[in-house]
Amino acid sequence: MTVEDVGERGLIELFHTLIDSFPHAVLPYGDDAVGIPFGNDVLIVNTDMLVGKTDVPPGMTYWQVGRKAVVMNVSDVVAKGAKPMGGVFSLGFPRGTTRDEATDLVKGLNAGCREYGFYYLGGDTNECSDLVVSGAVFGIVGRNKVVSRSGAQPGDVVAVTGHFGLTTMGFKILFEKLSADPKTKELGLRAIYEPHARLKEGIVLSERGFVSSSIDSSDGLAWSLYEISQMSSVGFIIDSIPVPKEVQMFANEHGLNYFDLALYGGEEFELIVTIPSVKWNKAVDAVKVVGGNLYPIGIVTEEKNMVLRLPNQTERRIYPKGFEHFKR
Amino acid sequence: MTVEDVGERGLIELFHTLIDSFPHAVLPYGDDAVGIPFGNDVLIVNTDMLVGKTDVPPGMTYWQVGRKAVVMNVSDVVAKGAKPMGGVFSLGFPRGTTRDEATDLVKGLNAGCREYGFYYLGGDTNECSDLVVSGAVFGIVGRNKVVSRSGAQPGDVVAVTGHFGLTTMGFKILFEKLSADPKTKELGLRAIYEPHARLKEGIVLSERGFVSSSIDSSDGLAWSLYEISQMSSVGFIIDSIPVPKEVQMFANEHGLNYFDLALYGGEEFELIVTIPSVKWNKAVDAVKVVGGNLYPIGIVTEEKNMVLRLPNQTERRIYPKGFEHFKR
């Protein structure tokens, strides 16, 4: 039996059975990042590996590759409420990579770190058959401010920090060669090439104690909701996903369901949070103050189902599907 | 111009010119690990990437690969005087890797972390053309206990925590098919397959304030001495490198110079430290108490040359040579 047979998620579960549990873990195994007690604070550390073969779509520049490796790592750290303090990145270059390409990649790494308020501190340089950028970004958060995936309560509002569907549209344009007008194409590709992590939103939401659970949406909206559902033992009724009108039009033109594009994508680095309804108005205001948005998309339910309620009030099941390595 | 033309060390220097310097860095760019002020302490973080193609010699088991990835990372952290608190490891598996192989690798990672007193906290799982294990290990050390590469002073004793030459001998047996009796072969291969980091030694030396500079020898004894020489602006007279008698006999049999085997190797994870002579006796005793050894190998000099003084009192230059990616 090979790693392809097991699949990425199967491997993650398998590895969990093989390793000794850290007795003082602040976050459970499998959360977005790891958390280690540190005086009155918690050190949050995340590692994410970008691999050329699977994570670099055609047309992406080396600068964008470097910057994306930062965004991937930052997103998980801020989803736990921590402000990044620094990052280290180990690089693997295939032979034949040019000096200029390596230069652009490191400039992108540096630019990404500076964009999120910290520094690229160092790393390791290697030869590798694939282009690999393996980062570790760490940050600090108060002991009682850490946000796991497991605190969602029935009745909480489910909210997201941005729109969904642009990256799936971009991938369909790029890989399936679906047609789109230049402006729509540009929107989809920009979402893929230059994603954004929601630092300000994540920090203010944890700092002010607004959220009961949080996850970043990098594996797709549906899969991320499923993770919260599993770890919090709750369900969801989702009734208003923010989907850009360009994605809705693109879906209509190609006979696709735009909710599917929004739910079953990936590589979107929005935060998905649950917020007790009494705190909702204050949370919306606080996120606005830092320049962000909070879109309510539904409600947490006791029953562990994930339901999409359509505008015409019919309901559909949301499936636990998303991007998975080895499974394509 | 490609990365092979530039070479690993050229790339490290190039990248230094491209990134913004962290204004509060405790350790200079290019030291074994990075250091970030943290209250009265310093957070030491190291990332090292193990790549199947270059870091896994034939015959090494997956368990040994996992454990080696831990040793590589621990060695740099303890060389700075910090006790490891935790580690995260991102994994890249080629398609076709079996479930059992992946299992053994993760068991080796877990065993390595436990061996050095911490936990494997989590990571990321990916598909990759090469086997890749990219770790980040972090630890804490008091603000005034951090040991950089730059504090060596003329007159200091140069010392190492173990013997040199076994891994070079092992590589010659493995790759150049040089003959050796079974016991000697076993010694060389074990040094390659199951290296050890010098945790207890590194911690006690920094804790008690004995060392003026420190580096781990993973890039080879000569290259590591050169790094201290460059960063401390000093030189060395080296006159007594501890070389196992098996390596001396192996060298004699094959017409090799055993000092060359000891100086120009790599993948040995000893600490190389400099110690003010007034502290020498106490340092030796302290390391003995924790079960280690400290071997004096020479003296720090004002003149920036690196000199090997042979038993017959003739002198040879030590060249700044060692293992380098892209340069073989």
3-state secondary structure of B313: coil
B-chain residues near A54 (CB < 8 A): 126-127
pLDDT value at position A311?
87
Structure letter (DSSP) for residue A317: E
pLDDT value at position B39?
86
Interior angle at CA A87, CA B2 and CA A189, nearest 5: 65
- B1-45 per-position pLDDT tens digit: 999 999 988 999 999 999 999 999 999 998 999 999 998 899 999
pLDDT value at position B76?
97
pLDDT value at position A39?
85
Chain A interface mutation, best of B110, B130, B137, highest count of A Cβ atoms under 10 Å: B130
Strand partners, A299: A157, A237
A-chain residues near B43 (CB < 8 A): 43, 85, 138
Expressed as residue numbers, the domain containing B229 is 157-317
Residues B77/B139, Cβ–Cβ less than 8 Å: yes
Question: CA of B18: which chain A residue's CA is closest?
Answer: A107
Which among B11, B89, B123 has CB closest to A125? B11
Instruction: State whether B130 and B188 are in the same domain.
Output: no
Which among A19, A36, A91 has CB closest to B86? A36
Which among A25, A53, A121 has CB closest to B127? A53
Cα dist from B89 to A48, A236, B66, B124, B136, whole Å:
9, 33, 10, 7, 6
**pLDDT band per the 50, 70, 90 thresholds, residue B317:** very high
The ipTM is 0.95
Strand partners, A91: A125, A133
Q: Is residue B10 part of a domain?
A: yes
Instruction: State whether A129 and A161 are in the same domain.
Output: no
Residue for token pair 């949301």: A318
Instruction: State whether A54 and A31 are in the same domain.
Output: yes
Average pLDDT over residues B228-251: 97
Q: Across the interface, do B48 and A136 touch by the CB < 8 Å criterion?
A: no
Instruction: State whether B37 and B95 are in the same domain.
Output: yes
For B328, residues 6+ apart whose C-beta sits below 8 A from its C-beta are none
Please state the domain count of chain B. 2
Average pLDDT of chain A, as a whole number = 96
User: Does B323 have pLDDT greater than 90?
Assistant: no
Q: Rounded distance, CA A15 to CA A285, Å?
A: 41
Q: What is the dihedral of CA A213, A216, A221, A222, to 10 degrees?
A: -60
Instruction: State whether A162 and A130 are in the same domain.
Output: no
The share of chain A scoring above pLDDT 90, in percent, equals 95
The pTM (predicted TM-score) of the whole model is: 0.95
Which residues in chain A land under pLDDT 50? 328
Strand partners, B49: B134
pLDDT value at position B324?
65
Main-chain phi, psi angles of A51, to 5 degrees: -120, 130
Residues B219/B285, Cβ–Cβ less than 8 Å: no
Helices A99-115/A62-79 angle, 10° precision: 30
Chain B interface mutation, best of A45, A267, A326, highest count of B Cβ atoms under 10 Å: A45
Q: Rounded distance, CA B209 to CA B211, Å?
A: 6
Question: CA of A323: which chain B residue's CA is closest?
Answer: B126
Q: Rounded distance, CA A32 to CA A228, Å?
A: 11
pLDDT value at position B96?
95
Q: Across the interface, do B51 and A130 touch by the CB < 8 Å criterion?
A: no
Which among B49, B85, B119 has CB closest to A20? B119
Question: CA of B86: which chain A residue's CA is closest?
Answer: A36
Instruction: State whether B254 and B125 are in the same domain.
Output: no
Question: CA of A104: which chain B residue's CA is closest?
Answer: B18
Interior angle at CA B92, CA A73 and CA A328, nearest 5: 90
Q: Rounded distance, CA A222 to CA A321, Å?
A: 6
Q: How many CB pairs under 8 A join A and B?
A: 235
Domain containing residue A28: CATH number:
3.30.1330.10
Q: Is residue A299 part of a domain?
A: yes
- Indicate left, alpha or beta for A266 from its phi (over 0: left) and psi (-120 to 50: alpha): left
Domain boundary among A119, A142, A165: A142
Chain B interface mutation, best of A24, A26, A85, A127, highest count of B Cβ atoms under 10 Å: A127
Q: Are strands B235-238 and B295-301 parallel, antiparallel or unpaired?
A: antiparallel
Q: Across the interface, do A325 and B88 touch by the CB < 8 Å criterion?
A: no
pLDDT value at position B328?
42
Helices A99-115/B3-18 angle, 10° precision: 30
Locate all alpha helices (DSSP H) within chain A, ordered by sequence: 3-18, 52-55, 62-79, 99-115, 166-175, 182-193, 199-207, 221-232, 245-253, 258-263, 280-289
Instruction: State whether A179 and A85 are in the same domain.
Output: no
Q: How many CB atoms lie within 10 A of CB A211?
A: 24
Q: Rounded distance, CA A239 to CA B100, Å?
A: 44
- A245-271 per-position pLDDT tens digit: 999 999 999 999 999 999 999 999 999
- The two tokens of residue A97 are 């990579």
Which among A4, A85, A129 has CB closest to B129? A129
Which among B45, B46, B103 has CB closest to A18? B103
For A83, residues 6+ apart whose C-beta sits below 8 A from its C-beta are A117, A139, A140, A141, A199, A203
Q: Is residue A152 part of a domain?
A: no
Instruction: State whether A195 and A301 are in the same domain.
Output: yes
Q: Is residue B72 part of a domain?
A: yes
Which among A11, A39, A126 has CB closest to B325? A126
Instruction: State whether B124 and B161 are in the same domain.
Output: no
How distant is the Cα of A245 from the closest Cα of chain B, in angstroms?
34
Q: Is residue B18 part of a domain?
A: yes
Domain containing residue A184: CATH number:
3.90.650.10
Q: Is residue A187 part of a domain?
A: yes
Q: Across the interface, do A15 and B89 touch by the CB < 8 Å criterion?
A: no
Q: Rounded distance, CA B37 to CA B23, Å?
A: 11
Instruction: State whether B176 and B284 are in the same domain.
Output: yes
Main-chain phi, psi angles of A297, to 5 degrees: -120, -5
Which among B3, B33, B39 has CB closest to A99? B3
- B171-212 per-position pLDDT tens digit: 999 999 999 999 999 999 999 999 999 999 999 999 999 999
- A168-224 per-position pLDDT tens digit: 999 999 999 999 999 999 999 999 999 999 999 999 999 999 999 999 999 999 999
Instruction: State whether B193 and B253 are in the same domain.
Output: yes
B-chain residues near A44 (CB < 8 A): none
Domain boundary among B107, B142, B177: B142
Q: Rounded distance, CA B87 to CA B69, Å?
A: 11
Q: Is residue B326 part of a domain?
A: no
Instruction: State whether B163 and B312 are in the same domain.
Output: yes
Chain B interface mutation, best of A12, A18, A148, highest count of B Cβ atoms under 10 Å: A18
Residues B224/B263, Cβ–Cβ less than 8 Å: no
Q: Across the interface, do A92 and B51 touch by the CB < 8 Å criterion?
A: yes
- Indicate left, alpha or beta for A261 from its phi (over 0: left) and psi (-120 to 50: alpha): alpha
* Burial zone of A249 (CB within 10 Å; 0-12 exposed, 13-18 middle, 19+ buried): middle
Chain B interface mutation, best of A4, A11, A103, highest count of B Cβ atoms under 10 Å: A11
Strand partners, B36: B43
B-chain residues near A11 (CB < 8 A): 102, 125
Domain boundary among B112, B142, B172: B142
Average pLDDT over residues B50-68: 96
Q: Across the interface, do A86 and B125 touch by the CB < 8 Å criterion?
A: no
- The two tokens of residue A147 are 């946000």
Average pLDDT over residues B137-160: 96
For B98, residues 6+ apart whose C-beta sits below 8 A from its C-beta are A1, A2, A3
